[in-house]
Structure 1
Amino acid sequence: MESITFDEVMTLLCKDGIMRELSHNNNNHISALYLVLCIVSWQTMLYKPQRIDHMHFEIHDEQGGYRGDAYMCLKIEVASCTRMPLSELLMGFGVLLPSKNLCLSDDEASREAFQRKVEVNAKCFNAHFLTSIAGVRLKWVDTLACHLEYNPATKELFLFRFPSFILSCPSHSSGTGKRTVLQACATTNRFHCQWATESEVGCLLNEILLSYRLLFGQTKKSRALFRSLDPFCDVPRAVADPLLPILCGKRSCHGLVPLETAEYYLPRDFPVLRYRLSVLQDHLARATPRKWVQLWRDNRDSAHWLTFWAVIVFGALGTLLALLQVILQAVQIAFR
C-alpha cells in the first residue's frame, strides 16, 4: 500500500467537506498544511511542530542542539511537502523510523562495536551503571524518534516518556486494512533501506517497551534510580504517563511488554534499536571508575570486583598490623 501524500490528504478533506478547496499559493493553504503536519505529529509523536512560514516548516529541537541520526535537520521546504509520500517527507528531518540492523555511523570504531557487541546482560548493562559509572545523564523527551539516542559531547541519553502511546498503537494493521498514522509513515519503497517498513515499525514499538525493562525494571538499583527521578517535572502533572513508573519502577509487569530475559541477543531482540544500544554498551565498556565510590559501585564483573576489594581489605589489614607492630616495638624500647 503506497504512502499517502499531503496533497492527497487535503483532497480527501475537501471531498468530505471538512476543508474547502484552497489555492496552493495562498496563506490559507499553508495554514491548512501546517494543521495537517501538526495532526501527523500528534498521532505519531515522531516530532513536535514548531512553526511554519511561506518557505519552511520547522520542528522543535528536543535534543538541545544535538544533531544525531533521528534529527539531522529541523527545517524542510514547504514546497517539497505537498507531493511527497509521507515517509519521504519525514526523511527530510532525519531517520525518524530506522530499519532493522542499521548502523548509520561512518566511524570505524562504532561500526566495529556494532558488529561485536551483539549480546547484552541486564545485570551488567542498565541505567544504574550508565549513570554511576559512565556519567550518563538522563533526559526525558516527548518524541518517540529520539528514544535511546546518545549525545557523547554532553553525555545525555534521551528517553521517550510516554509509553502509553505505544500501547495505544497496534503493532500490525488490522484485518480491515486500516492503518494507524504511524504505520502510514513506513516506507513501501525497497530502495529506502534506512527507513522502517510497516512490520519494522511494530518491532520498534515493542523494542521501546522492552528497553524500559532492560534499563530500569530488571535490576533493583536501576528501579531505585528511577524512583528518585521525576520524568515529568517540566510538564503539568495531568499529562504524566502512569505507565512509565510501572515499566521502570516495578519488579515485574507481565503482559505489558514482550518476554524479558536476563540476556538479550540484539539482532533478534532489539534489531531496530541495536545500533543505539551498541553505542551505549561501548561507552559503558570504555568507562573507567576514577573514584572510590565508583569502584565500589562497579560490580559488573563480580569475580574481578571481589578480587579487587579482597586485595584492598587484606592489604589494609596487613598495613595496619605492621603499623601496630612498629608502635608496640617503639613502646617496648621506650620502657626499657
Structure 2
Amino acid sequence: MDLTDRRFPLSSAAKKHILSKIFGCETKPDGTLSDSYFSYYEDVVENSPASSLTDSHQSIADTVALIRSAKTTKTAVEDYLRKRLPKDEVEDSDDLIGDAIRLATRLLIMMPIEGLNTRGLTMRVSGETKIRWEVGPIARVINSYISPGVFGFGQLKREPVKLGRIFNARILERIASVKIRWTSNLADHLRMRDEDTVVEIFHNASFLKLHQHCQTQEQVLPSEFLDETLKTLALLMPEHDKDTEKWFKKHQAKVQKQGKLPLDPLVRECGQLKAEQRNIESFNYWQERLAILKQVFDEAEPKNIKQWWHDRRKLVQWSTFWVAALVLILTIVFGLIQCIEGGLQVWLAYKALPSQNIGGNDA
C-alpha cells in the first residue's frame, strides 16, 4: 500500500485506509459504494493545488481525520498544518493552509468552505453555495448551517402539503420544464436556479451511505440529516419506477458524453416513499426547499400538446380538456367526411348525365 504520493489508480488496501480516515470506521472498498465515492475523490484531488501539505494521499487523509475530530478547532488544524510546512513555503503559508483545509473538508462533507482564499476548487462552479468556517470544530459549523433559515433548510409554518407520486424529478422536467442540474455540493441540494427554471440535485448517495455506515461519536453530519437527504432522493427518484429508471439512464449517458463526473448509480437505490412519508411536514431539514420546488411545480402550465397529455396533476381539468379536444377533432373529422361525401355525390351525379353534342351533326 503506497500512499506517499497523489497518483491514481489506488489499490484496494489504499482505498480501505483512506475510507477509514475520512469516515472514521472500517469499511470495505469494494463495490459501487466506494467506487462512486472514489470517482469524486479522484476528481477533487486532481483538480486541487498541490503543495507539501497535499502531496500525498496519506497527508490528505490525515488532515481529513484531524478535521473530523469533534474536539479539533479550525485554529488547531491551522497550527498543525503550519508546523508541517517546509521553510521555502512559509511565505505562502496562509494560501497553502487554506488549500489543504478546503480540499480536506470537501472530501469530508462535500461542501465548499468560504473565506479561506479564492484559488482552486471553490472557483470551479460559479455561484455554488459555500459555508463559512471561522472558529470551533467543523461539526458545530455544520449543525448551525443546517438549521432553519440559513441555506433554506428547516421547517416553515404553512398549510399541510402532500407530495404525490407524480411529484418526482422526471415529471418536473417533463411537465413543469424544470431542468435537472446534478451537483456534488450537498449545500446546493434542491436549490432553485436561473429564475426557478433549474433545480440542483445532489447525486452522491454513496457518500451519504458511507457516513450512515460509520456512525461514530465524531459524526460530522447528523444521522437524521443523512436519513432525510436520502429520503428526498427516494421522493424525487423512486427506486422501483421503470420510467424514472429509463429517464435516469438518459441523464447518465448525457453526463458521460459531456465528460463530467459520472452520476452515482446508487442515487437510484434510495427506496420508495409510502403515502404517509409524502407529507411535507415529515421533512425537517429540507422542508423549505421542497416547498419552493412544489410551488414551482404546481404553478407550471403545460406549453405544448405533449406536456398537456402527460400532465395529470389536475385530473378533472385534464379529462375536460381532452374530452373537449376529442369532441373538436371528431367534429372536424365528421365535417370533413360530410364535405367529401357531398362532393362525391355531386361528381357521381355529373358523371351520370347523358353526353351532349354541342356542335350538332353535319348535313
Range into which the TM-score falls when normalised by the shorter chain: 0.5 to 0.7
1:29–1:280 Cα change, 3 Å: closer
2:127 is aligned to: 65
Residues 206 and 89 of structure 1: is their aligned pair in 2 closer, same or farther, counting only changes over 3 Å? Answer: closer
Instruction: Give 1:27's aligned residue.
Output: 92
Q: CA deviation at 1:20?
A: 7.3
Matched, 1:266 2:266: no
> Comparing both structures, which one devotes a greater share of its residues to helix?
2
Aligned residue number for residue 74 of structure 2: 6
Q: Deviation per CA, 1:25-76, whole angstroms, max 9, x where unpaired? A: 9533552343233212211111278973xxx67862565437xxx44x8xx7
Which residue identity does 1:9 align to in structure 2?
Answer: V
Q: How far apart, in 2, do the equivalents of 1:234 and 1:327 lie?
A: 52
Given candidates 290, 296, 303, the residue that maps to 1:290 is 303
Deviation at 1:276, TM superposition (A): 0.9
Structure-to-structure mapping, 1:184-333, within 5 angstroms: 201-217=222-238, 219-230=241-252, 232-233=255-256, 240=262, 244-248=264-268, 253=269, 257=271, 260-262=273-275, 264-268=278-282, 270-333=283-346
Structure 1, residues 253-291: CA drift from partner, whole Å, max 9, x if none? 5xx55x7214611121x2211111111111111111121
Gaps of 5+ in 2: 1-68, 351-363
Partner of 2:202: 160
RMSD (CA atoms): 4.0
Task: Look up the equivalent residue of 1:316 and give its one-letter code.
Answer: I
Cα shift at 1:3: 6.6
Paired letter, 1:233? Q
AA paired with 1:141?
A: T
Aligned runs of 1:67-146 on 2, under 5 Å?
70-71=129-130, 81=134, 83=135, 86=138, 97-99=145-147, 102=149, 115-116=158-159, 118-122=161-165, 124-146=166-188
| 2: CA distance, partners of 1:34 / 1:278 | 36
Match in the other structure for 1:170: 212
Alignment CA distance shift 1:29-1:126 (3 Å):
closer
SS of residue in 2 equivalent to 1:140:
strand
Q: How many angstroms does 1:144 deviate by? A: 1.1
Aligned to 2:110: 45
Is 2:180 the counterpart of 1:150? Answer: no
DSSP-derived class of the 1:168 partner: helix
Q: How many residues align?
A: 274
**C-alpha displacement at 1:208, in angstroms?**
1.9
Structure that is richer in strand per residue: 1
> Which amino acid is the alignment partner of residue 224 of structure 1?
K
- Find the structure with the greater CA-based Rg: 2
Aligned in 2, Cα 1:279/1:204: closer, same or farther, shift over 3 Å?
A: same
The answer to whether the Cα contact below 8 Å between 1:171 and 1:205 also exists between their aligned partners in 2 is: no
Name which of structure 1's ranges 42-51 and 222-231 shifts more when overlaid on structure 2.
42-51
The alpha carbon displacement at 1:150 in A equals: 0.9
> Residue 307 of structure 1: SS of its match in structure 2?
helix
Would the alpha carbon gap of residues 50 and 217 (structure 1) be closer, same or farther in structure 2, given more than 3 Å must change?
Answer: farther
> How many Å apart are 1:88 and its aligned residue?
7.5
TM-score by length of 2: 0.61
Q: Give the deviation of 1:223 after TM superposition.
A: 2.4
Is this contact kept in 1: 2:178–2:198, CA < 8 A?
Answer: yes
- Distance in 1 (alpha carbons) for counterparts of 2:232 and 2:321: 31
Structure 1 residues 50, 59: closer, same or farther in 2, change over 3 A? Answer: farther
Determine if contact 1:62/1:141 at 8 Å carries over to the other structure.
Answer: no
Identity, in percent, stands at 19
Q: Which has the higher contact order (CA 8 A, sep 6+)?
A: 1
Counterpart residue identity of residue 128, structure 1: R
> Following the alignment from structure 1 to structure 2, what is the Cα–Cα distance between the partners of residues 279 and 154?
9
Alignment-mate amino acid for residue 179 of structure 1? E
Asked whether the 8 Å contact 1:51–1:58 carries over to 2, the reply is: no
Hey, what's the Cα distance between the residues in 1 that align with 2:124 and 2:235? 23
For residue 198 of structure 1, what is the aligned residue in structure 2?
none
Deviations 1:222-249 (A, max 9, x none): 2221111127538979x746xx33442x
**How far, CA to CA, are the matches of 2:178 and 2:201 in structure 1?**
12
| Distance change (3 Å), C-alpha of 1:171 and 1:302 | farther
Query: What TM-score do the two structures reach when normalised by structure 1?
Result: 0.66
